[in-house]
Amino acid sequence: MNNKQLASALPETDRTRHRRLREQGSLDRAQLDAILETGFICHFGVVIDGIPMVVPTVYGNDGRYLYFHGSVASRSLVASPKAAVCVTVTHVDGLVLARSVFEHGVNYRSAMIYGVPRLVTDAEEKLAGLRCLTEHATPGQWDYARQPNRKELAATALLALSLEEASVKIRTGGPDDGDGPDAALGIWAGVLPLTATWGEPDADPLLPDGIEPPHHILARSNTRAG
């Protein structure tokens, strides 16, 4: 991806364009992979009848493609194989509390992937994509739970979106007004961190006694999720 693509991929927020690109924009593949690996929910943007629609949905990631699934009757999935989409994955790490309101901000890691997704029709590829999606969101469950049967597979649409056109924006660290005139105001400044954590497994009330959560679920409890 060249600079022209970078410029067209990054949204503009505060500050000047050059400063933004230097400080927050990145095309580092390792950063993209880390953001995608950490999350499992994206915001899937698609245009339907000229109107944008932004839908939170689960994704899988095999390093070449993002995978999305849904009912074959889904409006957003049915529309998207014909149209460009923008898929955004965001982790919010904290509030940046500056001396001035103007310098307030958010620490975050965000990836945006652009492209025209492909409806996966090959049976083997579809099964592999669904496995990837399940294992990405809930590692260990594909082999532990009952895998989809023919009827369930037929009711499920799977989309693949190439990771070729992607960009990353990251903000880390404290506020930017610590060495300016506002530093003399005596106002506290810093970051209020935000962390997502997995809790303890909460068993289905309908579960019979004696069925314990498997290790791959228990091991996730009390670990950081974002």
Instruction: Scan residues 126-155 and list those touching its own copies (CB under 8 A).
Output: 130, 134, 137-138, 141-142, 144-149, 152
Stretch that binds its own copies, among 28-36, 59-67, 102-110, 118-126 (CB under 8 A): 102-110
* Minimum gap (Å) between residue 48 Cβ and its own copies: 8
Residues 158-187 that bind its own copies (CB under 8 A): 174-175, 178-179, 182-183, 185-187
Q: How near is the Cβ of 26 to its own copies at its closest, in Å?
A: 15
- 22's tokens: 């230097």
User: Helix, strand, or coil here: 159?
Assistant: strand
Q: Does 118 bind its own copies (CB under 8 A)?
A: no
Report in angstroms the alpha-carbon separations of 88 from 82, 109, 178. Answer: 19, 10, 31
Binding-site member from 5, 100, 118, 162 for its own copies (CB under 8 A): 100
Half-sphere exposure of 176 (CA within 13 A, CB side): 14
Strands 85-97 and 165-171: unpaired
Q: Which of residues 28-87 bind its own copies (CB under 8 A)?
A: 41, 43-47, 50-58, 70-71, 73-77, 84-87
Structure tokens, 77: 């999935």
Residue of 94, 163, 166, 167 that binds its own copies (CB under 8 A): 94
CB of 176 to its own copies, least distance (A): 10
**N- to C-terminal Cα separation, the chain:** 27
How many chain residues bind its own copies (CB under 8 A)?
Answer: 104
Q: How far is the CB of 23 from its own copies (least distance, A)?
A: 14
CB of 103 to its own copies, least distance (A): 9
- CB of 1 or CB of 71, closer to its own copies: 71
Measured at the CA of 81, the angle between CA 76 and CA 83, to 5 degrees, comes to 80
Q: Which residues pair with residue 109 across a beta bridge?
A: 91, 170
Among 2, 3, 16, 121, binds its own copies (CB under 8 A): 16
Sorted by sequence, the CB contacts under 8 Å of residue 68 that are 6+ apart come out as: 42, 44, 57, 58, 59, 60, 77, 87, 117, 133, 158, 159, 161
